[in-house]
Amino acid sequence: MKLKSNFKYIATPAKVFMTVLIVLVAVSILQGIILEIERTFRLSATIKPKAELTQEEKRLNRIRNSAKEFLPDGTIHLVYNLGYTPTRMGLPAREQIYDVNDDLLWEGPSDKRPFEYLSWAKQLRRYRDGFTREQMKQTQMITTEFSQNVRIPVRSDNKTEQIWRYHPGAKFFKGYNTSGEKIGYAGSTGFTDSKSKVKPFEEFRLFTAWCSQDSSNPTLLWQTQRHIYQIDFEKQQVKLIFENTEADIEIEGTSLHAWRDLKPGEKEYVDRRKYRPLLHCVTEDGKHHLLMRNPGRQLTITIPKAWQGWVNHYHRFTATKQGIFLSRTWTEFRKAPDYLQTREVLDRLLSDYQSKDKQRHVELYRLGTDGSLDLLTGYTWIVPARTGPVVRARDPRSAVQRGVAQFSSPLYDLAVRLLGRKFWLWAYSSRNMGDFFYSLARMIMDIQPYGGVINRILSALMMVFVFLHGWPRRTSWAKFAFWLVFAGLFNLAGLLTYLALNHTAVVKCPVCGRRRGLARFDCVRCRAELPAPERGKLDLILST
């Protein structure tokens, strides 16, 4: 009789799970290393010297790469940045300005430009002036230095007097003075000194912060699901700037222009004598909302259906004393609504797009008081077809990648099928679930066997190995069948797991002469037990 354990019913599946997990990771790492080595060699071999462009090609590229700027009267100029020269590092770049007939109007350093173009609302960008939901999530991530939190200071005479800390779980701010005492709470309805009275904000989406010209304390523009607030911690005020009951505000669709009271020379400074403060946001129902000041006004614009579905399509807004303007830019090339459905559809789109010359347009509209659009001017130029190899969504698999993927588990195909391609593309592209799942998604997509015949043959071959190894060692039919199926499902990782967990010794059966495992008392072939040794004639085995 062997030593017994009551834990084997949990421990045995746990052992199999642990081992297959580690073996899968090890096999995947090995596959990844092979792919990376292959990729490095492949990429370095495909680098080719750039072909010399013709004059016409250079001209078209110049037009294409020029910024299309509008003068207040609607005139369109093409501003081409010549870039920095090594001797002029630190000084403004040189630029050329052309008119729509491609005549050179001016050339010189960009800070000496003789024209003043319309400036437009700029989108709040993460890691620049926008703090997004992604970043807020990242503060919650546990690192070796623990997680972070968001704190807003209130200073006076160059000393910090208060700190307001945001609690993502509770969705409000708690304030402390420098003696460590709690001084209040800030929520959607304002500041309060009682926790029971504070009303939490909705789910956080975005914030931006600036110090006004008359203060060194930050003011926040705080965007949640359907509201935008302006919070001044120094004055302890929470103002509701925008509210939408019908749809959520898009996370990265908010733009500002002259909204923040910045000092001249600051990067995003806009002269408020010429422009009205403007906040532009887009809701998920496709509507554009404009909030303006001086005078205060809110406008909602529905973009015409005919404008939708074009490639590289975007809008910009600005509000001057003369009116509210919209700049629209798009390329005359339609993308199918399901273009992200599969990689093949996306590749076809990219291939079509890059292989043709396309027209690209920019237009200037004036907005009426009722949100109507009045076209003022426009300009069209050619985006030439791409010379050289087509850029793909993902490069087609190389022979090495296809070969390596044949050793992957067929279960990867099943996982992709069950969860759906959209899930994997989302996990792969958005990092929404954290780096671990991003890495997992990427790994599975890189080494997915895609139902290859060789993969299935290899799985069957692993089953054959398991059969040959396990047949003389089998202790029960259930276990034997389990490992056969296991090896088939997990391919190479399955075989390695099986070998790791089933390394029973074999001996030659003294009765039938064939190999038999020692995990059971009798021979699996002839059922004979191990025979006792022959008693020597001279042995002294005498009774007790």
Sign of CA dihedral 49, 53, 57, 59: positive
Terminal Cα-to-Cα distance of the chain (whole angstroms): 25
Residue 544 makes contact with another protein by CB under 8 A: yes
Q: Which of 82/500 has CB closer to another protein?
A: 500
- C-alpha 288/C-alpha 242 separation (Å) is 12
Residues in the chain, how many?
544
Nearest to 320 by CA among 108, 73, 126, 143: 73
Among 118, 209, 350, 489, binds another protein (CB under 8 A): 209
Nearest to 469 by CA among 503, 418, 427, 428: 503
Shortest Å, Cβ 454 to another protein: 28
Nearest to 187 by CA among 162, 166, 207: 166
- C-alpha 26/C-alpha 443 separation (Å) is 12
Shortest Å, Cβ 140 to another protein: 4
3-state SS string for 279-334 = EEEEECCCEEEEEECCCCEEEEEECCHHHCCEEEEEEEEEEECCCEEEEEEEEEEE
Q: Which of 182/394 has CB closer to another protein?
A: 182
- Taking phi first (over 0 means left), then psi (-120 to 50 degrees means alpha), and beta for anything else, what does residue 241 get? alpha
What stretch of H or E contains 24? Answer: helix 8-46
The interface with another protein within residues 215-234 (CB under 8 A) comprises 215-218
Choose one: 122-130, 324-332, 362-370, 444-452; the region binding another protein (CB under 8 A). Answer: 122-130
Q: How many residues bind another protein (CB under 8 A)?
A: 96
Nearest to 233 by CA among 201, 264, 198, 187: 187
Among 52, 103, 214, 338, binds another protein (CB under 8 A): 214
Choose one: 12-20, 51-59, 302-310, 312-320; the region binding another protein (CB under 8 A). Answer: 12-20
The interface with another protein within residues 419-458 (CB under 8 A) comprises 434-436
Q: Reduced to 3 states, what is the DSSP secondary structure of residue 217?
A: coil
Shortest Å, Cβ 480 to another protein: 20
Shortest Å, Cβ 198 to another protein: 17
Residue with tokens 């008693």: 535
Q: Which of 399/542 has CB closer to another protein?
A: 542
The interface with another protein within residues 127-166 (CB under 8 A) comprises 127, 129-131, 135, 137-153, 155, 158-160, 163, 165
- For 209, the token pair is 């912060």
- C-alpha 441/C-alpha 423 separation (Å) is 9
Among 2, 50, 273, 305, binds another protein (CB under 8 A): 2
Choose one: 18-26, 353-361, 423-431, 444-452; the region binding another protein (CB under 8 A). Answer: 18-26
The interface with another protein within residues 252-311 (CB under 8 A) comprises 260-263, 266-268
Residue with tokens 């909030």: 291
What is the number of alpha carbons within 13 Å of residue 255 lying toward its C-beta?
19
- For 451, the token pair is 């139902």
Q: Which of 346/487 has CB closer to another protein?
A: 487
Q: Which of 113/520 has CB closer to another protein?
A: 520
Q: Which of 18/460 has CB closer to another protein?
A: 18
Q: Which of 50/267 has CB closer to another protein?
A: 267
Shortest Å, Cβ 133 to another protein: 12
Q: Which of 98/498 has CB closer to another protein?
A: 498
Residues 6+ apart with CB under 8 A from 52: none
Q: Which of 140/302 has CB closer to another protein?
A: 140
The interface with another protein within residues 24-53 (CB under 8 A) comprises 25
- For 92, the token pair is 């403004």
Shortest Å, Cβ 66 to another protein: 28
The interface with another protein within residues 478-537 (CB under 8 A) comprises 500-501, 503, 505-507, 518, 521, 529-533, 536
Choose one: 179-187, 234-242, 309-317, 344-352; the region binding another protein (CB under 8 A). Answer: 179-187
Q: Which of 150/376 has CB closer to another protein?
A: 150
Shortest Å, Cβ 532 to another protein: 4
Q: Which of 414/518 has CB closer to another protein?
A: 518
Shortest Å, Cβ 23 to another protein: 9
Write the single-letter amino acid at 9: Y
CB 408 within 8 A of CB 389: no
Shortest Å, Cβ 63 to another protein: 33
Please return the burial class of 513, using the count of CB atoms within 10 Å of its CB with bins 0-12, 13-18 and 19+. exposed
Q: Which of 13/368 has CB closer to another protein?
A: 13
Query: Crossing angle of helices 435-447/8-46, nearest 10°?
Result: 70
Write the single-letter amino acid at 507: V
Choose one: 202-210, 272-280, 356-364, 379-387; the region binding another protein (CB under 8 A). Answer: 202-210
Q: Which of 22/376 has CB closer to another protein?
A: 22
What is the torsion angle, in degrees rounded to the nearest 10, for the CA atoms of residue 482, residue 483, residue 484 and residue 488?
100
Shortest Å, Cβ 475 to another protein: 13
Shortest Å, Cβ 93 to another protein: 22
Upstream peptide bond of 168 is cis (omega within 30 degrees of 0): no
CB 447 within 8 A of CB 28: yes
The interface with another protein within residues 73-112 (CB under 8 A) comprises none
